[in-house]
Amino acid sequence: MSRYILKIDCQDEKGLIYRISDAVFGYKLNIVKNDEFVDKEYGKFFMRAELSGEINKDEFFKTLKTMLPEGANIYIGLKDKKNIVLMGTKESHVLGDILLKHYRDELNANILAVISNYDDLKELAEKFDIPFFCIAYDAVSREEHEKKILSKLQELKPDFIVLAKYMRILSSSFVEQYKEKIINIHHSFLPAFIGANPYKQAYERGVKIIGATAHFVNNNLDEGPIIAQDVITVNHEFDWKDMQRAGRNVEKMVLSTALDLALEDRIFVHKNKTVIF
Amino acid sequence: MSRYILKIDCQDEKGLIYRISDAVFGYKLNIVKNDEFVDKEYGKFFMRAELSGEINKDEFFKTLKTMLPEGANIYIGLKDKKNIVLMGTKESHVLGDILLKHYRDELNANILAVISNYDDLKELAEKFDIPFFCIAYDAVSREEHEKKILSKLQELKPDFIVLAKYMRILSSSFVEQYKEKIINIHHSFLPAFIGANPYKQAYERGVKIIGATAHFVNNNLDEGPIIAQDVITVNHEFDWKDMQRAGRNVEKMVLSTALDLALEDRIFVHKNKTVIF
Amino acid sequence: MSRYILKIDCQDEKGLIYRISDAVFGYKLNIVKNDEFVDKEYGKFFMRAELSGEINKDEFFKTLKTMLPEGANIYIGLKDKKNIVLMGTKESHVLGDILLKHYRDELNANILAVISNYDDLKELAEKFDIPFFCIAYDAVSREEHEKKILSKLQELKPDFIVLAKYMRILSSSFVEQYKEKIINIHHSFLPAFIGANPYKQAYERGVKIIGATAHFVNNNLDEGPIIAQDVITVNHEFDWKDMQRAGRNVEKMVLSTALDLALEDRIFVHKNKTVIF
Amino acid sequence: MSRYILKIDCQDEKGLIYRISDAVFGYKLNIVKNDEFVDKEYGKFFMRAELSGEINKDEFFKTLKTMLPEGANIYIGLKDKKNIVLMGTKESHVLGDILLKHYRDELNANILAVISNYDDLKELAEKFDIPFFCIAYDAVSREEHEKKILSKLQELKPDFIVLAKYMRILSSSFVEQYKEKIINIHHSFLPAFIGANPYKQAYERGVKIIGATAHFVNNNLDEGPIIAQDVITVNHEFDWKDMQRAGRNVEKMVLSTALDLALEDRIFVHKNKTVIF
């Protein structure tokens, strides 16, 4: 018996659950887990179900399409390992944490490659037998640089791209091609401390908590839909280097949480916010 | 249009959601919110739905009964204020917090009375115009004492009894009469520090976190199904009095959370554990 | 034997602790608790000690003055209850929490009065026998309004003014007269969501954590030195009203923590940040 | 200029700080950071200072010895990297996290070796060029097994031994030889769930928080002095495998925190509790 993930979002209306569960029943699928949510502000219905059984995905898709409101988004996927590409720059704590999880076979994903604009992370990637591609940007224009990365990505075909402390801003056109597919970790509890060196900003402001935010990347820097956040407490004894050091544990944890959610198809994006089951 | 809460738990089987949503649809009810969970260890299905519409509750109950597996528990209630009785002894922080919430009309309940074995709390209850009954236990046997309380409770008919730092152990026969209706706050992160003076125990053990646990009361002291828990950090500077003082904030917060969940019919009890939507 | 709090901050230099403990020893004082911190960025020394013994405060002050670097701030106070004034507007959750703590004699302070620009809180203040002064601002200019409040404050002479959800911005000249004496609770984890309705802002941004910040009030709205912060997690099921409701528990807890720190003379302010022992 | 750590604990008496700071001043040492604490229950004084300057450690020790109460413990050490040995069994998440920190040069320690009773961790240790010693216990008695480990440890001379999920109980005589030198991570918020498979115990009990505890190892299993603890929330959807998976992040974080504290000489042990600066 196969396991499927069914995700639906559409305009809410009476009888939706009835019709969907009717279809599920008709295809002899068992509902292992089911979550629903209605955003009342927008009258929008969200549903994610884990199903077991054997189906023709295309047929099931068509059946659902005919019974759901126009404009409904329907996703039917096998519950399986996804393919990801990691991108980094120089800092290795987040990258290393993901590589270790993968090494222990605790990550629901195959890591296809590490891409970086420097070669500092090469040694670490290769310790874990992950192909490493250094695509430097010193001699080329930004456009040229992104073109090279995109060409590599088109070859690798990842389901998700994980920015594991990748410290370069991606252009709109780049982001556009991987909508809701690029996950970034920002080292502050957004929307506080957008931009460069959030720990320095946090230190200057004298906050008593610092945090990290994992989000999908969109056109506006640090303003994409938030997937996961967490914080830790700090005090006057922390200078910004201490905050950075302490914050690294949270960055690892938050990105790890967000990545798991993405890999299990648990995230919907709506109006720059996430609905997560 | 009325709002109803529908709660079902029964043996899991294929098509349950389909059949239930069929019935819901047949009664022209709209599903405002819906949660489901299957406990795989026991093959048990849990569901809670908020419905809007107009129905004959008894008829709807019968319809559901016929289509669900034998032994299914079905609860259909109006989404409305519940009636509660608070019981306390001498400490007023938890009681005061609930009285204040009630005063601000933020509690989804009517407080019918405060019952206590001392009269220390009388003044506070009366400040907020809540009837106060002191049922002292000094001159009577435990059995006699509980009989008096039970007689008062039978008169008041509360949906839930909240032990707001009520410091006397209730007998099995008392508890039996209000199964899953008595909520207690214990001042430790259970199962650590069962019994008397958990803060002193925590201090002796030198823990770095202390907490509080809200649970339904069953026959075994501090061993009932856990509804909510939370903790705060402490350090070597805290003696047990400091822990007690700091812990009071958590006790208030945890009992408040648990009470809200109970008042909104969000809690199922199964095998001494809670399923909470 | 009396208990004193000694607070010193001054330019750091070698031998400071030696000289201070020499003076303490000379005055036959016992050091019950002692904390020190050096801000390396500014070369500034901070110290707070709890001392027991009997001294002439003025003499001790003079002795310390002569041995400390120029510009040193020295505070010597009896460890005793302080006097506070609470200011509110309409919301009662934070005010009520402080009144309850005071009622239970758990607050290290006398509450001299509640001052409000509306009379919604009158009933609650009077339940707890605290003088209530409604100073409305509808018929008067802002300047006139603040003059009336200031006149009342000058009469009451509080050590601290607690803005328990006081929803009006205080002018620079008002704030100037109570520097590091006015504590405010802001319902977000500052610096995120400065200004009006932070819960709505948090909802719009789709954050997964919300919080509260207690800070001293300075000339710039929501930008004063932060004393305490805390957060709780939220999810897509929370609309902004739900966030507000959940946030109230954190607001109460954070203001309560900050107030305790102030009442025990534990806070230093330096460069718009706090050093807290 | 060298950096030293000075740790003193002794019976409390008047003038201690004065005398100590007199000696520090006499040796022309600068106090960079200073913490003191008096355990009032036992009248015990604790102090830790970071000093900069140049001294003859033995002489300074003698000077302090003569001026402190009898039985005083005095530790003077260079602020420097310590040497540690990691011990593991099969699980690699905690070990991997420490190896990664060491690889990034963020750990204030040299890792001398990984010792394990299985060879599952060999590959990982060698990826990071750390000597790995498998000391199996299948063909030998427990006494024999520990003798082999002790012989290796005597050769390596570590300052601390870190049990990174080492799943065998150490004998009293082993522990005795490394008093306050062996740090263990237990996968529960002790004292809840002592012994085997705490996650299963937590699942059975239906708790809403799970945690981890780092502690020094003493003669009684899971009862040594607690150094650090943290928790995360769980709910009814977690089976014990899910709890284990989620708990691993906390285990890593808590052991990492405890290890940092040990490596910086911040921990005192007194009456089976820790005082931590």
Residue with tokens 């280097």: A241
- B212-233 per-residue burial string, b: 16 or more CB within 10 A, e: under 16: bbbbbbbeeebebbbbbbbbbe
Strand partners, C201: none
Taking CA–CA distances from B191, the nearest residue in chain D reads D192
On whether both D116 and D205 belong to a single domain, the answer is: yes
Q: What is the pTM of this model?
A: 0.96
Q: Considering Cα of B151, then B156, then B162, then B165, what sign does the dihedral take?
A: negative
Q: Which chain B residue lies closest to D273 (C-alpha atoms)? A: B206
pLDDT for A89 equals: 97
Chain B: closest CA distance from residue A28 (Å)? 9
Helix (H/G/I), strand (E/B), else coil: D256: helix
- Cβ–Cβ < 8 Å for A92, A120: yes
- pLDDT computed for residue D221 by the predictor: 82
Those residues with Cβ within 8 angstroms of residue D103's Cβ, 6 or more apart along the chain or in another chain: A92, A96, A124, D128
Residue B208, token pair as written in the block: 């770095």
> Considering chain D, what percentage of its residues have pLDDT values greater than 90?
94
Q: Tell me if chain D has a CB within 8 Å of the CB of B275.
A: yes
Q: Give percent of chain A with pLDDT exceeding 70.
A: 100
Residue D50 CB coordination number (10 Å): 19
Chain A nearest C-alpha distance from C183 (Å) = 16
Mark yes or no for CB contact B274/D190 under 8 Å.
Answer: no
- The two structure tokens encoding residue C120: 């919604």
Mean pLDDT value across chain B: 96
Domain limits at C33? 2-78
Q: How many CB pairs under 8 A join B and D?
A: 79
Q: In this complex, is the C-beta atom of A158 within 8 Å of any C-beta atom belonging to chain D?
A: no
| A115: Cβ contacts below 8 Å, ≥ 6 apart | A85, A86, A87, A88, A132, A133, A135, A149, A152, A153
Mean pLDDT within A147-172: 97
Closest-CA residue of chain D to A237: D33
**Domain final residue, candidates B78, B97, B121:** B78
**Cα–Cα distance measured from residue C36 to residue A200, given in angstroms and rounded to the nearest whole number:** 24
Q: Does residue D9 sit in the same domain as residue D32?
A: yes
Contact A233, C196 (CB under 8 A): no
Answer yes or no: is pLDDT of A196 > 90.
no
Q: To the nearest whole angstrom, how far is the Cα of B96 from the nearest Cα of chain C? A: 7
ipTM, interface predicted TM-score of the complex: 0.95
Any chain C CB within 8 A of the CB of A191? yes
Average pLDDT over every residue of B118-128: 97
D222 given a catalytic annotation: yes
Query: pLDDT tens for residues A201-238?
Result: 999 999 999 999 999 999 888 999 999 999 999 999 99
C-alpha torsion angle, residues B37, B39, B42, B48 (rounded to 10): -30
User: Are the Cβ atoms of C274 and A236 closer than 8 angstroms?
Assistant: yes
Of C71, C86, C15, the closest CA to residue C270 belongs to C71
- Residues B239, B110: one domain? yes
User: Looking at CA atoms only, how far is residue D103 from chain A in angstroms?
Assistant: 9
- From B138, B222, B242, B265, the catalytic residue: B222
Percent of chain A with pLDDT over 90: 94
Q: How high is the pLDDT of residue A81?
A: 97
Contact (CB<8Å) B190/D211: no
- Residues with Cβ within 8 Å of A72's Cβ and at least 6 positions away in sequence, in order, are A8, A9, A10, A11, A64, A65
User: Mean pLDDT in chain D?
Assistant: 96
- CATH number at B99 reads 3.40.50.170
**C58 and chain D in contact, CB less than 8 A:** no
At C174, list the tokens.
Answer: 């008002």
**Sorting pLDDT into bands at 50, 70 and 90, what band is B62?**
very high
Same-domain pairing of A73 and A166: no
Q: Are both A158 and A250 inside the same structural domain?
A: yes
Tokens 């008002």 identify what position? C174
- Domain's final residue, options B78, B113, B138: B78
Same domain, A115 and A15: no
Last residue of a domain, one of A46, A78, A110: A78
pLDDT of A120 reads 97
Whether chain D has a CB inside 8 Å of the CB on C275: the answer is no
Of C14, C21, C35, the CB nearest to D18: C21
Query: Cβ–Cβ of B25/A18 closer than 8 Å?
Result: yes
C150 and C221 belong to one structural domain:
yes
For chain B, which chains pass the contact test of at least 3 CB pairs under 8 Å? A, C, D
φ/ψ of residue B57, rounded to 5 = -60, -40
Residues 6+ apart with CB under 8 A from C68: C8, C10, C16, C19, C20, C74
In this prediction, residue B48 has a pLDDT band, given cuts at 50, 70 and 90, of very high
Give the span between the Cα atoms of D276 and D159, in whole angstroms.
18
Q: Are residues C56 and C113 in the same domain?
A: no
- The answer on A88 and A68 residing in a single domain is no
Distance CA A124, CA D128 (A): 9
Does position D117 have pLDDT exceeding 90, yes or no? yes
pLDDT at res. D154:
98
**C96 near B CB under 8 A:** yes
Smallest CA-to-CA distance from D258 within B239, C231, A249 is with: A249
C43 and C98 both lie in a single domain: no
User: Measuring CA to CA, which residue among D261, D162, D37, D186 is closest to residue A246?
Assistant: D261
Domains: count for chain D: 2
Q: How confident is the model at residue A257 (pLDDT cuts 50, 70, 90)?
A: very high
DSSP secondary structure code for residue D195 in this structure: S
The angle subtended at Cα B94 by Cα B88 and Cα B96, nearest 5°, is 90
Burial bucket for residue B1 (CB in 10 Å: 0-12, 13-18, 19+): exposed
What is residue C74's predicted lDDT score, i.e. its pLDDT? 98
Does C192 reach chain A within 8 Å, measured CB to CB? yes
Instruction: Say whether pLDDT at D195 is over 90.
Output: no
CA A172/CA A235 separation, integer angstroms = 38
Q: Which residues of B touch A22 (CB under 8 A)?
A: 18, 22
List phi, psi (to 5°) of B76: -125, 115
**Which residue type does A67 have?**
M
**Phi, psi angle pair for C140, to nearest 5°:** -125, 165
Query: What does B55-120 look like in DSSP terms, one character per residue?
Result: --HHHHHHHHHHHSPTT-EEEEEES--EEEEEEESS--HHHHHHHHHHHTT-SSEEEEEEEESSST
Q: Which residue among D9, D97, D222, D265 is the active-site one?
A: D222
277 residues of chain C, pLDDT tens digit each:
899 999 999 999 988 999 999 999 999 999 988 999 999 999 999 999 999 999 999 999 999 999 999 999 999 999 999 999 999 999 999 999 999 999 999 999 999 999 999 999 999 999 999 999 999 988 889 999 999 999 999 999 999 999 999 999 999 999 999 999 999 999 999 999 998 899 999 999 999 999 999 999 998 889 999 999 999 999 999 999 999 999 999 999 999 999 999 999 999 999 999 999 9
Which CATH number characterizes residue B44's domain?
Answer: 3.30.70.260
Give the tens place of pLDDT for each residue, D152-173. 999 999 999 999 999 999 999 9
Q: Which has more confidence, B88 or B221? A: B88
Q: What is the pLDDT of residue A195?
A: 87
Provide the pLDDT for residue D92: 97
Q: How far from chain centre, in Å, is Cα D274? A: 11
pLDDT given for residue B137 in this prediction: 87
Residue D234 distance to chain B (closest CA, Å): 10
Q: What's the per-residue H, E or C state across C174-229? A: HHHHCCCCEEEEECCCCCCCCCCCHHHHHHHHCCCEEEEEEEECCCCCCCCCEEEE
Task: Give the closest residue to B9 by CA, choosing from B220, B180, B213.
Answer: B180
Does residue A3 register a pLDDT over 90?
yes
Q: What local confidence, expressed as pLDDT, does residue D138 receive?
A: 83
Indicate whether C266 and C169 sit together in one domain.
yes
B140 and B260 housed in the same domain: yes
Segment A77-96 shows an average pLDDT of: 97
From CA A199, how far away is CA A195, in angstroms rounded?
Answer: 11
Check pLDDT > 90 for residue B59.
yes
Secondary structure of residue C257 in the 3-state scheme: helix
Report phi then psi at B41, rounded to 5: -60, -40
* D196 confidence band (pLDDT: 50, 70, 90): confident
B173 has pLDDT over 90: yes
